[in-house]
Amino acid sequence: MALTDILSRIRAAEAAHGRTPGSVELIAVSKLQPLDRIEAVLDEGHLLFGENYVQESAFKWPGLRARYPGVKVHMIGPLQTNKAAQALELFEAIHSVDRPSIAERLARLTQSAGVCPELYIQVNTGAEPQKAGILPEMADDFIAACRTMDLNVKGLMCIPPDGEEASPHFAMLAGIAKRNGLEGLSMGMSSDFEAAIAHGATHVRVGSALFGERAARKA
């Protein structure tokens, strides 16, 4: 689907659900996509992208940033502690702060480097054992702990379980954000971004609907 079609669907969902026009940002998820597809979206003037892998991003984005001033790239995939320093050099925001060890590492690194990336805490709303994210019942304490570390927590992120209706998960995430005074809600993907907008998403992360099917990840 063309960029303009995705953007019109986002604007239509904002209007349908009483959201402020332009309040939802599109993160174009470009992981595992060929460069020509990414360049096509950049050439249309879109500047906000999402990536899952540090290595892949280090390979792709420095060159693209040099050619497309104003680009912003957000890390949306699980972040290993030993890649945190590199991530801070590559990304304007990290949506996958999902455990105390990564929060502590980011706190130490951001203080020594004097940088202040926007952070989103990933909540495992479905309490899935294989999925990253803080459990919903631990979220309030974890958000408070991140704040005492002076981390720039902008909001929350979730990935609803496969094959389940996503809306209850979006509603849960919005509730946790509200009671903690957080404005950012990173939720909604290709198949459910309109439902996420209905529940207050500020950032939708759309990959395959925009770029087409992506390549399988090499082992």
Question: Interface with ligand PLP by CB under 6 A: which residues?
Answer: 29, 31, 52, 76-77, 159, 189-190, 205-209
Smallest gap from residue 34 Cβ to ligand PLP (A)? 15
For residues 85 and 72, give the distance between their C-alpha atoms in angstroms, rounded to a whole number. Answer: 17
Query: Measured from the CB of residue 209, what is the shortest distance to ligand PLP in angstroms?
Result: 6
d(CA 187, CA 166): 10
Minimum distance between the CB of residue 41 and ligand PLP, rounded to whole angstroms? 13
Cβ closest to ligand PLP, residue 188 vs residue 200: 188
Closest CB 107 distance from ligand PLP, rounded Å: 23
Per the structure block, which two tokens stand in for 116? 């202040």
Q: How far is the CB of 111 from ligand PLP (least distance, A)?
A: 27
Q: Packing angle between helix 100-113 and helix 139-148, nearest 10 degrees?
A: 20
**Using CA atoms, how far apart are residues 160 and 138, in angstroms rounded to an integer?**
17
48 vs 149, beta carbon nearer ligand PLP: 48
Rounded Cα gap, residues 66 and 197, in angstroms: 32
Long-range contacts of 189-194 (CB under 8 A, 24+ apart): 189/29, 189/159, 191/166, 192/160, 192/166, 192/167, 193/9, 193/10, 193/13, 194/9, 194/13
The residue number with the shortest CB distance to ligand PLP is 207
Using the minimum distance from each CB to ligand PLP, give the nearer residue, 195 or 206: 206
Alpha-carbon span 216 to 219, nearest angstrom = 9
**Cβ at position 202, least distance to ligand PLP in Å:** 14
The burial of 165, by beta-carbon neighbours within 10 Å (0-12 exposed, 13-18 middle, 19 or more buried), is given as exposed
Nearer to ligand PLP, 77 or 136 (CB): 77
CA distance linking residue 214 with residue 42, whole number of Å: 17
> Given the complex with ligand PLP, which of 78 and 100 has the nearer CB atom?
78
Closer Cβ to ligand PLP, 66 or 216, answer by number: 216
